[in-house]
Structure 1
Amino acid sequence: MEDSKNLTPDTDITPKVTGIGGIFFFSDNPKETKDWYAKNLGVEVNAWGSVSFDSRNINNPDEVETLQWSPFKKGDEYFSPSKKEFMINYRVQNLEALLEKLRENGVTILDEIATYDFGKFIHIMDAEGNKIELWEPK
């Protein structure tokens, strides 16, 4: 096995989390919450109804990474089966290999991989009952 310390960002395919892709939480009134953040903190809502925070990948400065922040209507089924008031989206690499590892470890996988123009997604549950969204960007 190749020493991971010798891998460059272009050759590292270790199945793992590489960052946070989004923070989602329940709100009694998502529109008012977004408006409050826009008015008071200057955040701008994008076409998906969330706020995008862009940054550079420290290992590959030409790559722009985005973190999505979005309030959801309290009780939105997108968080199910979790009963928690938040969900975190983790940016990952090598999603298929990561899923193999998760299955071997007995992790609850909630759905199948969904593929979109901007990457692949799947949902899992952690040991505390938190729904987690895994996203492998294109």
Structure 2
Amino acid sequence: MTVISALQKTDSRTSYQSFIEKNMTISPEKARGIGEAIGNKMNTVLMKVSKLFLVEDTMASIKFGIFLWFLSCVGKWFDTITLFMIGTVMLFSLPRLYEDNQKQVDEILHKVSEKLHQCFIMVKTKLESRFYQKEKTT
């Protein structure tokens, strides 16, 4: 707009002039606050990741391992671009499908969540009994 106004010899202001003139700096106090917030979030994430990898919570580590295994299987089947295309289609179609069939989907999800909960309880009890037996013998 500056070049056009110079060529036309007019004194027109750009629509972005208010943004150009506005002070867009961040105060040191605000920067410190943002840095502390980012640091706190990073520490929380690092603590959770270390608990997963160091197997402090056995069930969470098993769930994470199964999730990584599932991702590796999906990665073998599909290319990255294909996954992005499938994800984009699902992003716009699944909400509509859920709205149209909400009652049936809720019933199925409830049954699946109950079965998964039963499976997790079974695996947890077997793992705990196995670990408890090892500790008892030593």
Structure-2-length-normalised TM-score: 0.18
Q: Which has more radius of gyration?
A: 2
User: 1 or 2, which has the higher strand percentage?
Assistant: 1
User: 1 or 2, which has the higher helix percentage?
Assistant: 2
Structure-1-length-normalised TM-score: 0.18
Structure possessing the higher relative contact order (Cα contacts under 8 Å, 6 or more residues apart):
1
